[in-house]
A and B are shown apart, each in its own frame.
Chain A
Amino acid sequence: MSVPPEYLPLSLVVSATLFTIGVGGVLLRRNAIIIFLCIELMLNAVNLTFVAFARQLGVDGQVFVFFVMAVAAAEAAVGLAIIISVFRHYEMVDVERFDLLKW
């Protein structure tokens, strides 16, 4: 069961909307974990674009989604480790208060 190829623009609009929600979330929230969630949302929006285009341009798009997922998993593991390490130091995850590198 699949939708006809004419659904490509609609898929791209859904993907763009999700990506935009992710960008807005990164700018709106101060909680480092929520910012990470929004980054995952953006990565998935891009995956949707890859899959939508893969139907007309070849299976390579789906292979790329595979690599995006691997990179996202690695990024989530390292990022959460950094958040835990920062939390041990500051006892909170508010990104506005990590100002050690500000002058």
Chain B
Amino acid sequence: MIADALFYLFSVAAVVSGLFVVTRKNPVSSVLFLVVTFFSLSGLFVLLDAHFIAAVQVIVYAGAIMVLFLFVVMLLNLGHFEGEQTDFRGALGRFAAATVSVTLLALVARAVLGLEELGGQGVVAESLAGAPDPVGAALEARGPVGAVAGPLFDEYLIPFELTSLLLLVAIVGAIVLARRREP
């Protein structure tokens, strides 16, 4: 099946480029690899029936936020290192990062994959057992945009309006913080 093949392709692309984000020395390549991760994730969103979210992911994340990051990297001229200069932490920091990452991954993998051993009572098993496919029904009834817009403007109307306030505060805060102070 082509959907399964695409799912594996996008998963591998997301994880590999995510690794490159962390391991590249040059901040510009880190930002560009993060864009690749975001594109792969939006492909995964399409395969998981979240078409509108996938479009927003490309426009807002890969388009707007990453351009903002790239712009700041270039504004601060962080693109080049001289000689052995690096921003990786020392041996202790690397050990801590590796330990925390592996432990976290092991814990989550156990929670997700080890459900049969744990009695099969986890949220994944319950979710799969029910499986009424509410998103598919909403997509049938309202289309890809309407499926998200319906609840967004109905039961989540007040949080949605508060989001606009949050963005306004963020704009004002960003301007105040980044403004050049006159002596």
Contacts and interface: CB of A to CB of B under 8 A. Distances in A.
A55 B135 contact: yes
A17 B44 contact: no
B177 A21 contact: no
Nearest to A35: B87
Interface string B96-115: 11101100110011001100
A63 to B, nearest CB: 5
A10 B97 contact: no
29 contacts: A7-B48, A8-B124, A9-B124, A10-B11, A12-B112, A12-B124, A14-B11, A14-B44, A16-B104, A16-B108, A19-B104, A30-B89, A33-B73, A37-B30, A37-B34, A40-B34, A48-B44, A54-B48, A62-B50, A63-B152, A66-B148, A69-B56, A70-B163, A73-B167, A74-B170, A76-B65, A78-B173, A83-B76, A94-B87
Contacts of B123: 53
Interface in B16-32: 18-19, 21-22, 27, 30-31
Interface of B: 2-4, 6-7, 11, 14-15, 18-19, 21-22, 27, 30-31, 34, 37-38, 41, 44-50, 52-53, 56-57, 60-61, 64-65, 68-69, 72-73, 75-76, 78, 87-89, 93-94, 96-98, 100-101, 104-105, 108-109, 112-113, 123-124, 127-128, 130-136, 138, 147-148, 150-152, 156, 159, 163, 166-167, 169-171, 173-178, 180
B183 to A, nearest CB: 13
A27 interface: yes
B69 A36 contact: yes
A66 to B, nearest CB: 7
Interface in A56-101: 56-60, 62-63, 65-67, 69-78, 80-85, 87-88, 93-94, 96
Contact of B178 (A10, A31, A69, A85): A85
B142 to A, nearest CB: 9
B127 A8 contact: yes
Given A8-B124, A81-B174, 17 more contacts: A3-B3, A5-B131, A16-B112, A24-B101, A25-B97, A28-B89, A33-B76, A33-B78, A38-B21, A47-B41, A56-B130, A62-B147, A62-B148, A66-B152, A69-B60, A73-B64, A81-B176
